[in-house]
Amino acid sequence: MNTLFISDLDGTLLRPNVELSKRTIRVLNKLIAQGMKFSVATARTIASVKPILKDVTIELPLILMNGACIYDSTENRYIKVEHFSEKSKNLLLSVIKEYQLKGFAYSIKEDVLSTYYEDISTKPLRDFYKERVNKYKKPFIQVDNFADLKEEPLIYFSLMDRKESLDEVYQIFQDIPDVNCTYYKDNYTPDIWYLEIFHNQASKYHAVQYLRDHYYFDSIVCFGDNRNDLPLFQGSDIKIAVANAFPELKIKADIIIGSNQEDGVATWLEKNFRNY
């Protein structure tokens, strides 16, 4: 059977220090060399995913930004990108301005990802920014107002705040017909939630189906930990949650494995991948 094994990164494949353990790297490379088909599906962009995965020999495309784009790391190009329509983009920009929301906006043009922000005055935003600049050398562009981006081919917004500040806006965004969003608690910062917005054909579900159809996979086995992995679970045949996963995901899981601190994904794959 031609099976794809696909894992979320933060909270699932990555240790709490936001790195792959040496054991996970060793196991993944060994199993890939033995024929295992493996990739990742993450909310991260290629700017941080590339250095995180630099020691793993993944040849299949990577699902990035919760499925807003799919990236071929062997050819260094995006093979699928879902942009907002002009109508949706303008409506999103209007709501973000009205509610004074803070976060990051993303565009892809001619295979170049650009990341914009208005201000990073809160600690979670500063931490997000500093980690990606200092650790991954990711470039950011400051703008006076997100409305200045109305001519850019935007694909994604990542907003960060306390849940009570985002609940109402989450409901508003759900009423925009061709927009999808995922809403989940940050793995690393207490009381901070992410509200991430993208085209309604952009999700881990749709991206997994793209890989299934274009690479003729008979079966998809996935690993996750957070609410943004629910679409990944929906698109997969075997759904596996790590022990540290949120309860909403564990309810949907077929199998519960060891936590990310215990290299749960690598341990399970080493013992079981040949059975699938």
Counted domains in the chain:
2
pTM of the model: 0.92
Residue 60 domain boundaries:
3-81+203-275
Angle, nearest 10°, between helix axes 163-174 and 86-98?
Answer: 150
User: What pLDDT is attached to residue 189?
Assistant: 85
Same domain, 105 and 28: no
Q: Which of 164, 199, 234 is the last residue of a domain?
A: 199
Same domain, 16 and 111: no
Yes or no: say if 273 and 258 are a contact pair by the CB < 8 Å rule. no
pLDDT tens digit string along 209-220? Answer: 999 999 999 999
User: What pLDDT is attached to residue 187?
Assistant: 86
The Cα–Cα gap between 86 and 67 comes to 20
User: What pLDDT is attached to residue 2?
Assistant: 94
Q: Which of 159, 178, 199 is the last residue of a domain?
A: 199
* Host H or E run for residue 240: strand 238-242
Yes or no: say if 147 and 153 are a contact pair by the CB < 8 Å rule. no
Over residues 78-94, the mean pLDDT reads 94
Kindly give the pairing relationship between strand 141-142 and strand 3-7: unpaired
Q: How far is CA 91 from CA 62, 63, 176, in A?
A: 29, 26, 9
The Cα–Cα gap between 220 and 95 comes to 37
Q: Which of 159, 175, 199 is the last residue of a domain?
A: 199
pLDDT tens digit string along 165-194? Answer: 999 999 999 888 899 998 999 888 888 999
The CATH code of the domain that includes 65 is 3.40.50.1000
Task: Quote the DSSP letter at residue 216.
Answer: T
